[in-house]
Structure 1
């Protein structure tokens, strides 16, 4: 899952980013409306965490841009403005949930899981390829009925490939799914993650193959 985090308080933003990345999310942190608006125009985010009070305006101004790009995106507002009127305004303007600062990180994570499970946000039923089963709503992976834990970026590669199983996924699409704006990407970084994922799947006898399509991207399909 790729999250846009719009928060202008550096300390809080860094804490949230590190926490979410430990939970295997890809996080793009922006600190103002202008930069966040540019990001929304380029990336199809899976979830948004928006501060209400930003240097150049109200985070609610981003709701329209996010929903235009991806109508079903879950949006959680983060704000120190916690009176009933502010919360009602946020929800009436399209937010799915509203967290009042200060909040516990575990509560934020629970809210993320909750809005991601809502019927309008569900990304479809479980996906199967070979002996692999992937649950889009929870990012859970099983191989032959056994849970498989993958490093964050390998999980993001698998999610992008298995959703498009049997079709070539362009490198640019994979890089967008796997890396945030602040990540340093070398020319072979994606290939290294794919190679490690391919090895793990082979060792688990997962019954799938990942093929490199030279100069284009990668393709995952069930092994013959």
Structure 2
């Protein structure tokens, strides 16, 4: 049985009910009002009232969806404006700087900047992972690092000793959209710091339209194993 490690620690303390609902939808995707109420320890009706108010502000929308037998259920999810409530760190300035560098110094200069950032990140992560022995310990440490940087990271254990590592938010999304070298550098770092005994493959990508980025981290087969 897979073990869910709260794809992110609870960050709802001190937030208003509306903010808690937005955060729950960001972290866990579309849900019904009753399921949101259960998750947030409020009634389903209280959750629905908050969702209606958020819909009036165009932060969420709803639709009917049939899952299994019975009547269709009403699901709620974030709109583009709702996602924008979770900021892209210095988005406009970053994109402007990338554009200026590209125009004045050329694409090669952008590549060198990304490579330098990649190496700096790799060095810092390796130092943080020093002493993390098992793959689970390494993944847990990576979750803490990425969450501290604003990625709302988390993980869950899946079949055959593998892990699903997720980032529910991308604080550099605008920069990554402008130059996808950032995404390439990111997965390179994950592969390097998690070790030669694992493979890392991206399974969901925000820039491809997914609500989050997700990576499957799989232990490499043991040589000589049947």
- Give the TM bin, normalised by the shorter chain: under 0.3
The structure where strand makes up a greater share of residues is: 1
Structure with more relative contact order (C-alpha pairs < 8 Å, separation 6 or more): 2
Q: TM-score, normalised by structure 2?
A: 0.27
Q: What TM-score do you get using the length of structure 1 for normalisation? A: 0.28
Larger radius of gyration: 2
